[in-house]
Chain A
Amino acid sequence: MTEVLRIDGLRFAWPRSAWALAVPALALDAGERVFLHGPSGTGKSTLLNLIAGTLLPQAGTVRVAGEDVAKRSGPARDRLRADHLGIVFQQFNLLPFLSMVDNVTLPCRFSARRRERALQRFGSLDAAARHYLAALGLGDAAQAKRRVIELSVGQQQRVAAARALIGGPSLVLCDEPTSALDTRNRDQFIELLFAECAAAGTALLFVSHDLSLAPRFPRQQALGELAQAEATRADDASTGAAA
């Protein structure tokens, strides 16, 4: 089994803050589904940035698809992220000036690897996008060419998931993807996401504060255990508000 993500002895601290993130160990194999419990203030955004390669750790290593992120140059890290990662945020996942299909095909603009795979499998990027949108329950809306700002939050999250999946990346990272959804939409979303990840063999790292979701995942970890947050209440308020 190939390892899609491996974190060893990670340490990161913001320059003028007492707060620090520490992740001694975290590893995911291909196709694994892991729930990472992270309440507010535990540094989810920071971890996201570290895995994505937009932040570099002060100590330890982050390996994505076997590559040490810190050892690569900026553009190389961008390529790595484009090739192997799909990210779903809590909200504001879509570019308002692009159509649904164009939003979904975005990663293919920056990753030749994913572009080739999508073309190979579906013949055209358009077809690839529509496949994933349909798989996530948005077949009709895509046909209607609706503007993304007219979509409901639930629909927007699904478009984001389709974007994260197109071209078969190694790992899908979700940061509170269902926190803005009602229960029914949330359940549907997770089921569809699981189905597609399983079909493609994509690993899934689901980060959320909502413990009730944890049981669905074969593996569960808590960021609070992994991280030793030396946070004061002031740090909490200033860094964790968005989560």
Chain B
Amino acid sequence: MSKRLFHCLAAGALAVLFAAPTVVVAQEPEIGARPDTDGLPKSDVREIDWLELLPPEDLAALEAMPEVDHTGQMQMPQAMTSTKTVAAMDGVRGKVPGYLVPISFDENQRVTEMFLVPYFGACVHVPPPPPNQLIYIKPKNPVELGNLWDAYWVHGTVRASLVENAMATSAYAMELDRLEIIEE
């Protein structure tokens, strides 16, 4: 009995000891999470497709558009700058898949403002997302983001601002409920 006790204690002590540096070392990023308040079971959460955010005329223009123009001028491209929003999407609650681009941080290195974009990376064979394919998010509680390549389901309520003029571009924003990493 005594020898076993001895060995058990020693093993237990060593095991817990490794917890201390591990706590410091293994900095898994936390996803800022708030309780899911829509009350729906997960499978009932409405999936929002990015194309739903495009007004029909933009969608038609997309389909009619030629290949990406690589003229290399310091000019804003003619096509794909649409800022029109679909008013019907305002207030729609659901989840949008995409990637998060951080814009601002707080003093604890958490993200206070970010963009949700449909695809990652400035891949040169694909044009950058036009304004109405971006969703601006300013979470109530700053979130800690891990690496830039994680895809997320972003749960929240879409807001489409209705202001539109030459200088100020209207945009989609989202009231964030929670972030969910998309696993493989």
Asked if the two chains touch in their complex, CB atoms less than 8 Å apart, one says no
Query: Which residues does B use to contact A, with CB under 8 Å?
Result: none
